[in-house]
Structure 1
Amino acid sequence: MGCFLIGLLVIILSIGNIIEEANGEISPKILSNIKMMNKRGPYLGIVAPNNFELNPLLASRAYVPYPSLPFIDFAGRRFRFGNISNQRVVIVMTGLGMVNTGVATQLLVSLFRLKGVLHYGIAGNADVNLDIGDVTIPKFWAHSGLWNWQRYGDGIDDELALEAGGDYTRDIGYLQFSKYNNQSDNLLNRVWYQPEEIFPVTGTPEVREHVFWVPVDKSYLDLARQLQDMRLPQCVNTTCLPRPPKVTIVDRGVSASVFVDNAAYRTFLHSKFNATAIDMESAAVALICHQQALPFVVIRSLSDLAGGGSDVSNEADLFGSLAAQNSVDVLVKFVGLLPTHKSKTHS
């Protein structure tokens, strides 16, 4: 009878732990591991979009995982711990799109002591003057997928719905779909780009602010300028790019949960916003770090000219792996430039 009761108690406790974790609560064991790892911090947080970009970093000789506790799993995410160039790092993969990236980045900065965040990966290119394999480091990032879609018949001088209450604005500008129709006007009218509502950690809770262009950390950007002479691989097997890829500081990148494979929209984004890198995650990292007052920088290697039109056919399929590796190489080099002493921290 005693053994039965003990077994029943174990089952009940196990079910309780399953329910606890299923509800998104932090189990005592995971919380204990988080506290233990935070005593070793602060860390550099490294955010990768998916396995395609994560695996080259994990396979790099520069990354040395901690042997005692190489990772903590929580909320469907795996947080990996190790060293890169004598820097303590914690690495997380986000998954596709702005929502996944925002959730993963917020978990990262809320659970662990960080002194900064580095985001890297591949991106579409909107600037015909740059080539596949080039690694861009934008000064600003914006979420270009938050729109107010205007009612058909309204013009550019007509007030948007809910604009008077401060929810929406016409300050940033619009995309008018009928400009891209060769036949006649259409019912889609135009969309007006909107800034994000943010709630900074230093602000008053539930009192919103707005931001569209989020600047990367100036000290990180200054360090990144030292990478512009870096030599990067040019070939995949026997197929080579027309010229060696380069690292370049660019003005702006934009993100939205949209895969842009359209030349007209690519051209619009570049002419309207002076955007170079187009991806689905970086602005989410930027917005979270901006709200949490954490320094960050984004490193994105160009895998294709968004919408096609370059001299290289099947560009993303052929050179995507090279672009991913280039982003990792630049990330590792950047980490090596950082001072090892403690800087800004976050609990």
Structure 2
Amino acid sequence: MIIGIIGAMEKEIVLLKEKMIIEKTVNQSSLEFYVGKLNDKEVVLVRSGIGKVNAAMCTQILVDIYNVELIINTGVAGALHPDLNVGDIVVSTDTLQHDIDASVFGDPRGIIPGMDKSVFLGDEKLLGFIDDITLSDQKILKGRIVTGDQAIGCGDTKTLLYEQFEGFCVEMEGGAIAHVCHLNNIPFLIIRAISDKADEEVEVNYNEFLELAAKNSSFIVESILSNIEIGSMRKL
């Protein structure tokens, strides 16, 4: 089994890259794909770049060229759920894209016209591994992750996303990765560590806590890899 691991920014993948046994680095579509092993698992690690288009393109390359059978997305996010604090973890029960809005045609916001589904479920087996993982000072919650091509730094918008979509956190790539995984029948999991509260203090909090959040998210990825038994995962 080959596992694809995606992070949007260098700081979101650097700790994993340092621990990898990198066998080769491949340049493809302006991206660098690191092929090798992490925790005795065959992995392809890549920095996708920020935003849904970059994330979707990167995911499809992992599927088409590297034949990955599982994708894990690691990174940071802004908190929507009131119980979440900086450094806490959200693992996706499901994801949706909050910025899709065809309401003028009668579809609720977040619904993708013409698609069989717009809410994409995280893999149940991977979610099950989370129950045995702990962080000493932070919480690990399972919940919905919402995605859009905006960095959220407004209390009113934060409240809207929490109340309308029941999102636990908000970020800019996970929903697109999940969308492409669904179309290709690839199991996935989105992992986000909280870097800020998605409110008017977002810039201060993000800059201060990005490294802590990225470290915690990388720890969850490593813990999941340690629990995966080769051959035990199935395609959805």
TM-score above 0.5, yes or no = yes
| Structure-2 residue corresponding to 1:64 | 21
Query: One-letter code of the match for 2:159?
Result: T
| Structure-2 residue corresponding to 1:178 | none
Alignment partners' CA distance in 2, 1:80 and 1:344: 24
249 and 345 in structure 1: CA distance in 2 versus 1, 3 angstrom threshold: closer
Larger Rg belongs to: 1
Query: One-letter code of the match for 1:338?
Result: I
| Structure-2 residue corresponding to 1:212 | 118
Instruction: Give the C-alpha shift of residue 194 in structure 1.
Output: 4.0
209 and 148 in structure 1: CA distance in 2 versus 1, 3 angstrom threshold: closer
Alignment partners' CA distance in 1, 2:2 and 2:44: 6
Alignment partners' CA distance in 1, 2:140 and 2:21: 25
Query: One-letter code of the match for 2:17?
Result: L
Secondary structure of residue in 1 paired with 2:95: strand
Instruction: Give the C-alpha shift of residue 225 in structure 1.
Output: 2.3
TM-score under structure 2 length normalisation: 0.93
| Structure-1 residue corresponding to 2:83 | 129
Residue among 195, 198, 205 paired with 2:111: 195
CA contact (8 A) 2:153 2:201 kept: no
CA contact (8 A) 2:6 2:71 kept: yes
Task: Number of aligned residue pairs: give it.
Answer: 236
Deviations 1:278-298 (A, max 9, x none): 000000110000110010001
| Structure-1 residue corresponding to 2:139 | 246
CA contact (8 A) 1:302 1:323 kept: yes
CA contact (8 A) 1:225 1:249 kept: no
| Structure-2 residue corresponding to 1:88 | 42
Alignment partners' CA distance in 2, 1:88 and 1:117: 12
| Structure-1 residue corresponding to 2:168 | 276
Alignment partners' CA distance in 2, 1:126 and 1:342: 34
Query: One-letter code of the match for 1:195?
Result: I
Alignment partners' CA distance in 2, 1:123 and 1:75: 26
253 and 345 in structure 1: CA distance in 2 versus 1, 3 angstrom threshold: closer
Alignment partners' CA distance in 2, 1:144 and 1:49: 19
Secondary structure of residue in 1 paired with 2:46: strand
Query: One-letter code of the match for 1:211?
Result: K
Instruction: Give the C-alpha shift of residue 226 in structure 1.
Output: 2.0
Alignment partners' CA distance in 1, 2:233 and 2:79: 33
Alignment partners' CA distance in 2, 1:343 and 1:283: 22
Alignment of 1:48-63 (within 5 A): 48-59=7-18, 61=19, 63=20
Instruction: Give the C-alpha shift of residue 259 in structure 1.
Output: 0.6
Residue among 64, 71, 89 paired with 1:117: 71
Alignment partners' CA distance in 2, 1:87 and 1:109: 17
| Structure-2 residue corresponding to 1:43 | 2
TM-score under structure 1 length normalisation: 0.64
Alignment of 1:193-342 (within 5 A): 193-197=109-113, 208-227=114-133, 230-232=134-136, 244-250=137-143, 252-308=144-200, 314-341=204-231
Deviations 1:144-194 (A, max 9, x none): 111136xxxxxxxxxx3xx3xxxxx33x3xxxxxxxxxxxxxxxxxxxx14
Alignment partners' CA distance in 2, 1:216 and 1:342: 16
Deviations 1:226-255 (A, max 9, x none): 22xx124xxxxxxxxxxx2122212x1100
Whether 1:142 and 2:58 are equivalent positions in the alignment is no
| Structure-2 residue corresponding to 1:203 | none
CA contact (8 A) 2:98 2:146 kept: yes
Instruction: Give the C-alpha shift of residue 115 in structure 1.
Output: 1.8
Moved more, 300-309 or 100-109: 300-309
Secondary structure of residue in 2 paired with 1:314: helix
Cα root mean square deviation, aligned: 2.0
Alignment partners' CA distance in 2, 1:148 and 1:90: 35
Alignment partners' CA distance in 2, 1:48 and 1:225: 23
CA contact (8 A) 2:125 2:233 kept: no
CA contact (8 A) 1:48 1:121 kept: yes
Instruction: Give the C-alpha shift of residue 52 in structure 1.
Output: 1.9
Alignment partners' CA distance in 1, 2:232 and 2:26: 23
Residue among 103, 107, 117 paired with 2:61: 107
Deviations 1:62-104 (A, max 9, x none): x2212xxx21111211111111111100111110100111111
Instruction: Give the C-alpha shift of residue 56 in structure 1.
Output: 2.1
Alignment partners' CA distance in 2, 1:75 and 1:317: 29
CA contact (8 A) 2:6 2:72 kept: yes
Residue among 28, 31, 47 paired with 1:77: 31
Query: One-letter code of the match for 1:77?
Result: L
CA contact (8 A) 2:185 2:235 kept: no
Alignment partners' CA distance in 1, 2:51 and 2:168: 18
Give aligned-pair identity as a percent. Answer: 21
